[in-house]
Structure 1
Amino acid sequence: MIKIIAVLCSLSSPTNCHEQIVTTSDFANVSMQSCMMGAPQLAEWMNQHPAERLAGWRCVFGQQTGRGA
């Protein structure tokens, strides 16, 4: 399974950033190539989180825990 880890920054405090695993059923079958190209599902996920800005993302295989950016 591929996990997408997004680096998110607060719009109200742009230097306040953190990493978060983006997990929804839409990401269940994301390929590594699709993930690295910016998985279209990521844009939809960001629409549901308007208080944050996507500063970047990375793709990893298997389990991964979030860590501070």
Structure 2
Amino acid sequence: MKFYFCPEYVNMQKGIDSLCGFIRSNLMRDPFSNEVFIFMGRNKKQIKIHCCPIKLFNSSITY
């Protein structure tokens, strides 16, 4: 499992969808991978941790 610390401050009012978008666009990573993303607020007193320990979708399934 890899850990990524976001180098920028993040608005702590952001929800899961906004954080996933931030991970995709700024960190160029898959938010649903087996990785942990750590975000810190501007006041350095709050953190948010995003992790998805299991794959939600199996890409090998064909219909």
TM > 0.5 between the two?
Answer: no
Judging by fraction of residues, say which structure has more strand.
1
Q: TM-score, normalised by structure 1?
A: 0.32
Q: TM-score, normalised by structure 2?
A: 0.33
Identify the structure with bigger relative contact order (alpha carbons < 8 Å, sequence gap 6+). Answer: 1
Which of structures 1 and 2 has the bigger CA Rg? 2
Judging by fraction of residues, say which structure has more helix.
1
